[in-house]
Chains A and B, each alone.
Chain A
Amino acid sequence: MNTTLLTNAMPLFATTPTPIEDPASTFIRLLTVFLLAMWVGFEVITKVPQRLHTPLTSGSNAISGVTVVGALVVAGSLTTGFGTLFGLLAVLLAMINVAGGFVVTHRMLEMFNPKKK
């Protein structure tokens, strides 16, 4: 894609140009988020009882397919041929992960909740 177009690009609906962040700040920002999320993860997950560890594994597996979000953006940005190809492949695989993961977790949890016969 045209470099000039991108460096002068403005989001479609914005009224002011978005400032470009310096790399150090980006890294620190994401690092903050990462560490906080890890902490939340530890706190929340230690409360899951042992008998639900399998759905936990399966459910967290589904959520790890969130890569699909990144893949969609990368593939949709239509950069190089290879870039788009890798991106689309990533979309495919990540969606298998997501769909399969949520459905199988659901099936598992259904088994834990016996229906009245």
Chain B
Amino acid sequence: MSSQAWINLAYLTASMLFIVAFKQMSGPRTAVRGNLLGATGMAIAILAACFEQPVTMSIAEYGIWPLLMLIVFAAIGGGIGATMAIRWPMTGMPQMVALLNGFGGAASMLVAAAELTSTRAVSRFEESTRQAVAAASLEPWTQFAIAIGLACFIGSVTLTGSLVAFGKLQELPQFKKPWDNPNRQWINLALAITALFLLWGVFGTSQLLFFLLLVLVAAALGVTLTLPIGGADMPVVICLLNSYSGLAAAAAGFVIDNSVLVIAGSLVGASGLILTAIMCKAMNRSLIGVLFGGLGTTSTVDADEVYAGKIKSAETEELAMILEQADRVVIVPGYGLAVAQAQHAVRELADVLEARGTSVEYAIHPVAGRMPGHMNVLLAEADIPYEQLREMDDINPSFPETDVAIVIGANDVVNPAARNDPDSPIAGMPILDVDKAQTVVVIKRSLSPGFAGIPNPLFAADNTLMYFADGKKALIELTAAVTRD
């Protein structure tokens, strides 16, 4: 068997391991194993790459230096990545995933750039020119140049889009406000048309100039597409960018004729697209709406009208008494819980309530937080057993039988306007039917609106009590009060 066959066998093994890794993601315990298998697959593929003909030929010509060079760069990258992952606080995990994603996209673009500038590629181009002319088949440069153009475009968009997403999630001051320049769609259009033109240039001529310009334009497009998107729509954007980085890797695979890149890239691309679709369905908004719509408000509901005279705020003791009499409590976490870092405090309150015989569960809305499953990870960090985390469709029917629903740092996902007001910007979005519980306790610092910028009639409902305090502090005081009695 030729060495290339062995290499391809190794790539095949790696691909199979990647698929297994995804399959094992169906349960928490198997997922740990799956992740390790995926890492093993990656290691196998990396090892196999070092035996590829171009590399072995370099080694034959220059000795061990080329290999050493590869090892050094790979080791530095690996070291940086592993250190980042270990030291970064878990609460900053969405932005770290965004950052890593951007790096992957950049790598795909750079591989395309390298191939474009490498004489080896040019010589292969010439060889295939001869072959294709003889075979009178596809135009000689088509697959190669198209793949390079696509890898460049997708990779660059992914890079800058991810960096912007990082900035927003990290709440860097420059990214605080969503970019709402009224001309932004024209800018997007202009950039997109330029990009298409440049893509065509790359397809047709494989000229470096077109490639470089494409990088710049695509990078700009990545920024302009991501900048207008506000914090709560971030889960969709993260998933989409994740998908892009996979597609960029697949495109790079087309460039260098490498099947493991194509397979792994496709798996990741598919994964990202599915999650994006799930997120959009969960918000009842189309992807186009999320990317290009911003949140145009057609409803001009006045906050004062909604709230005036109907907000009942409660004291700790009063709330503690209500909790003590409750048989069934459902906690609804939102992004605010992550911000307040109150997941451990929530756990303690839940422990105290459970010790008294109250059943405690958590209602997780699919787009609560800044990443899909964000709340799950947050609560898992506090060692809250995952059996207590219930999905929205699962737990919604049980709210009428719930004595107390505690809403911490969640707003739009429990806003009944989505159900009742057809003009609301969040109309039609599936929500947690918290207002159907006997009593609702909302822990919030103030009446400030959530991402959608609209008032929440839940706060003014008869069965709602507001607890105006910082999430963590509120929970600690509640826990203390309940323990006391």
Give B109 Cβ to nearest chain A Cβ, in Å: 8
Partner of B93 from A68, A80, A104 at Cβ < 8 Å: A104
Give B58 Cβ to nearest chain A Cβ, in Å: 5
Interface residue tally for chain B (C-beta within 8 Å): 139
B118, CB-defined interface residue at 8 Å: yes
Tell me if A45 and B274 are in contact (CB < 8 A): yes
Tell me if B97 and A41 are in contact (CB < 8 A): no
Tell me if B74 and A72 are in contact (CB < 8 A): yes
Q: Which chain B residue lies CB-closest to A91?
A: B73
Taken together as a complex, chains A and B put the C-alpha atoms of A69 and B108 apart, in Å, by 11
Give B41 Cβ to nearest chain A Cβ, in Å: 8
B308, CB-defined interface residue at 8 Å: no
Taken together as a complex, chains A and B put the C-alpha atoms of A92 and B71 apart, in Å, by 10
Tell me if B70 and A12 are in contact (CB < 8 A): no
Tell me if A48 and B140 are in contact (CB < 8 A): no
Tell me if B78 and A99 are in contact (CB < 8 A): yes
Chain A's interface: helix, strand, loop or mixed, by majority? helix
The answer to whether A22 and B131 touch (CB under 8 A), given A12-B3, A111-B381, is yes
Tell me if B111 and A74 are in contact (CB < 8 A): yes
On chain B, the residues within 8 Å of A46 by CB distance are 274
Partner of A79 from B49, B119, B135 at Cβ < 8 Å: B119
Give B340 Cβ to nearest chain A Cβ, in Å: 19
Q: Which chain A residue lies CB-closest to B394?
A: A50
Give B95 Cβ to nearest chain A Cβ, in Å: 11
Q: Which chain B residue lies CB-closest to A5?
A: B57
B103, CB-defined interface residue at 8 Å: yes
Give B190 Cβ to nearest chain A Cβ, in Å: 28
Give A106 Cβ to nearest chain B Cβ, in Å: 6
On chain B, the residues within 8 Å of A87 by CB distance are 110-111, 114
The answer to whether A86 and B111 touch (CB under 8 A), given A14-B2, A97-B81, A101-B81, is yes
Tell me if B114 and A90 are in contact (CB < 8 A): yes
On chain B, the residues within 8 Å of A35 by CB distance are 266
- Summed over the interface, the residue pairs from A and B with CB atoms below 8 Å come to a total of 463
Taken together as a complex, chains A and B put the C-alpha atoms of A73 and B264 apart, in Å, by 17
Tell me if A6 and B73 are in contact (CB < 8 A): no
Q: Which chain B residue lies CB-closest to A97?
A: B104
Tell me if A38 and B111 are in contact (CB < 8 A): no
Partner of A78 from B35, B66, B248 at Cβ < 8 Å: B66
Taken together as a complex, chains A and B put the C-alpha atoms of A83 and B29 apart, in Å, by 43
Q: Which chain B residue lies CB-closest to A98?
A: B42
Tell me if A73 and B242 are in contact (CB < 8 A): no
Partner of B120 from A52, A77, A103 at Cβ < 8 Å: A77
Give B19 Cβ to nearest chain A Cβ, in Å: 6
Tell me if B85 and A107 are in contact (CB < 8 A): yes
Give A44 Cβ to nearest chain B Cβ, in Å: 5
Taken together as a complex, chains A and B put the C-alpha atoms of A48 and B26 apart, in Å, by 5
B137, CB-defined interface residue at 8 Å: yes
Taken together as a complex, chains A and B put the C-alpha atoms of A18 and B3 apart, in Å, by 11
B460, CB-defined interface residue at 8 Å: no
Partner of B77 from A11, A70, A85, A92 at Cβ < 8 Å: A92
Tell me if B260 and A69 are in contact (CB < 8 A): yes
Tell me if B261 and A69 are in contact (CB < 8 A): yes
Partner of A114 from B69, B259, B366, B385 at Cβ < 8 Å: B385
Choose among A40, A69, A109 the residue with the greatest number of B CB atoms under 10 Å from its CB.
A69
Tell me if B38 and A75 are in contact (CB < 8 A): no
What 1/0 flags go to B23-56 for Cβ under 8 Å of A?
A: 1011111011011101100100110111011111
Taken together as a complex, chains A and B put the C-alpha atoms of A52 and B391 apart, in Å, by 12
Taken together as a complex, chains A and B put the C-alpha atoms of A43 and B269 apart, in Å, by 13
Taken together as a complex, chains A and B put the C-alpha atoms of A72 and B3 apart, in Å, by 17
B257, CB-defined interface residue at 8 Å: yes
Partner of B54 from A52, A66, A77, A105 at Cβ < 8 Å: A77
What 1/0 flags go to B421-432 for Cβ under 8 Å of A?
A: 000000000000
Tell me if B42 and A63 are in contact (CB < 8 A): yes
A-B contact pairs, 12 of them (CB 8 A): A1-B120, A3-B119, A11-B3, A13-B3, A24-B138, A37-B270, A63-B18, A67-B104, A91-B73, A99-B78, A100-B85, A112-B31
Beyond A34-B266, A77-B54, A99-B79: 13 further Cβ-contacts under 8 Å?
A3-B119, A9-B53, A23-B128, A24-B132, A34-B254, A41-B267, A50-B278, A62-B39, A66-B261, A75-B69, A83-B114, A91-B77, A96-B78
